[in-house]
Structure 1
């Protein structure tokens, strides 16, 4: 299973007494889960790389992020695309699994050492425990199916809480793919090395700016000779000789077309007022292989404001309530552990659970 597939899984945190509280579904983002690998390869990219192995931590594993060794990591975690079947798969000789089935451990911290730099859902899970959520289990389901099952959602989904949702793509995806890669907010990781793997992920193609929210004449990339827009993605990919990536983009570009309302009680929460890439400007003579100058605008540091706020359109498209709340100066990568956001989110849960008349006397102390 690849990091792309992680986007299609729900981690369900549920009390051992199902009547006590509403179940809470935690949906990790791209790179938001531990991943293990087992190798049985016939060839490697570097003599120091292993051809065979038992199961070992692949993501996140800082031991694999050092120079030269990171080339082994990138080759182990990258995906292969088949343009005939329009699907991706693990690299040859690489088996992948998500550890800790039956617990939330693999999405609490990305590194098994549980050091601070790898914290993900840990703070949220701690707060869930104070609300009465006890035993953890994993529930697997495909969201594309759920989108079509309104009757199922009416019966089983009480509310949907989104944190920093990328509803209409982001210019950061273009920066990641075409120039600089993405170190996922960690100074420890080499973004250029990570770019080798990131370019093979359909999830990155899916995060490209949506033509529903970027105007066809709006310049995304300025090269000194030509200006490129959302109408020019073929030129983008071909300039880097990434023909498979272009095919992946065609596969996923319409998944969120029209951005259909979820038709459930929805909370749309995100940060603002953080410098966020809005345009790539290549100095004369540097396109396409040079490093662009980044022009920034409002957003959460990863997602542009227009994409974060795209959920507001649902207020006119569904009968269920839409609650929109922003957190100024909270960026995309810290929103899960920010005390104010955690407080706000668990207050929502307390309010919803009060429908069950269970939490009127619950007292919670927040330790920043």
Structure 2
């Protein structure tokens, strides 16, 4: 194996005027980038918002300032009527004139607490171990302190990087904010470069971010990239949420709308689909009449009910990002779980995508299969300019277990500390 818009003003001021750090002085600053749906969103409604007919969604909130849109488990427990409202207000629409995704008219949104890890928490007990709360606690036990040498870079998970030359204002704004956060975190800690630690979809965001920053900047400000639970080829499992239009349009809960079956309006829905570069002609969705491979993704999306314009956006916005993923050219450790049944193929034998498929499993962490992890190894090791790369496979570790199981957390923290000192 080879070894080779800006930050919110309040967040910036807290970095610049905070008192001297009481954290362990030898520690490198760490910036955490969470996984999909692990960043909290607030919303504000204006008079332009038109709620679904007979829903009453706009009346309680219009003109009343910011409120928690995602994730608001407590409010939904108190008033389940809000589910339809939140689901509608989370939708994105594509603006062909701007060539970009935006909120539905009359809905303003913002990410909560950028620059900190406070956005990673959830008020839903069932999701306590899904995001990075456990990792934050583990890092604090070894001396890390919020706002001193531990920072967070949450993002609007509904959006995604677009192909170069195409608009993605949300990702561009996040990238500008992350760049400034990294620089300020370094300055706050004696000009030490930072360790970027990502989980799941956050790894894709960080990888594209690094690829689009000057190499000189990367080598000055990024000490190490520790990427958890992500390869470079997407996952066949991510085809399931897009297969059933009926389930996606009539979910049982807000979590189902966003998590279980996905939301077809999100720009990010295409981001982790299987890559032709990794899977090629291998059948991934199987029916009696025909099979669909990664090479056949446009045909699969059309069969699943996506419009011609939506399929075109997959081709032009998302696919080029997947195909152009490259080594980050900073020291890197990839950590992935293996030994857990993970979907390799979906069988809809009668061609009815609204039904539950038969699952053909292979190896992986329950969400990311081993093939895409091995593809990451091949990609990074093949680049002679990649300074250092290590791949760690942890047996019997799930996707969320990587950031919640104590044994896995111990390995992750160890790699963060090793990478910081290498």
TM-score by length of 2: 0.71
CA distance in 1, matches of 2:293, 2:115: 45
Equivalent residue number for residue 131 of structure 1: 142
Report 1 or 2 for greater relative contact order, CA contacts < 8 Å, sequence distance ≥ 6.
2
- Asked whether 1:281 is paired with 2:318, we answer no
Secondary structure, counterpart of 1:253 in structure 2: helix
Equivalent residue number for residue 261 of structure 1: 327
Aligned residue pairs, count: 336
After TM superposition, give the deviation of residue 352 of structure 1 in Å: 4.3
Secondary structure, counterpart of 2:283 in structure 1: coil
Secondary structure, counterpart of 2:314 in structure 1: helix
Q: Which runs of 5+ in 2 are unaligned?
A: 6-14, 154-176, 180-205
Secondary structure, counterpart of 1:57 in structure 2: strand
CA contact (8 A) 1:161 1:268 kept: yes
Q: 1:208 to 1:145 in 2, by over 3 A?
A: closer
Equivalent residue number for residue 55 of structure 1: 66
After TM superposition, give the deviation of residue 198 of structure 1 in Å: 1.8
Q: 1:182 to 1:335 in 2, by over 3 A?
A: farther
Equivalent in 289, 297, 311 of residue 233 of structure 1: 297
- Asked whether 1:21 is paired with 2:58, we answer no
After TM superposition, give the deviation of residue 270 of structure 1 in Å: 0.8
- Asked whether 1:117 is paired with 2:134, we answer no
Q: 1:300 to 1:83 in 2, by over 3 A?
A: farther
CA distance in 2, matches of 1:29, 1:44: 30
After TM superposition, give the deviation of residue 132 of structure 1 in Å: 2.7
RMSD across aligned positions (CA): 3.1
CA distance in 2, matches of 1:268, 1:260: 14
Q: 1:278 to 1:135 in 2, by over 3 A?
A: closer
CA distance in 1, matches of 2:133, 2:357: 36
Equivalent residue number for residue 147 of structure 1: 211
Deviations 1:140-196 (A, max 9, x none): 23654531421111122111101101421111110111138999xxx9865367577
CA distance in 2, matches of 1:223, 1:334: 33
TM-score by length of 1: 0.80
CA distance in 1, matches of 2:295, 2:97: 24
Q: 1:179 to 1:322 in 2, by over 3 A?
A: same
Equivalent residue number for residue 337 of structure 1: 404
Equivalent residue number for residue 306 of structure 1: 371
Equivalent residue number for residue 184 of structure 2: none
Equivalent residue number for residue 177 of structure 1: 242
After TM superposition, give the deviation of residue 266 of structure 1 in Å: 0.9
CA distance in 1, matches of 2:255, 2:134: 26
CA distance in 2, matches of 1:70, 1:308: 36
CA distance in 2, matches of 1:68, 1:296: 38
CA contact (8 A) 2:32 2:152 kept: no
Q: Which runs of 5+ in 1 are unaligned?
A: 2-11, 356-368
Tell me whether 313-322 or 85-94 shows the greater mean CA deviation: 313-322
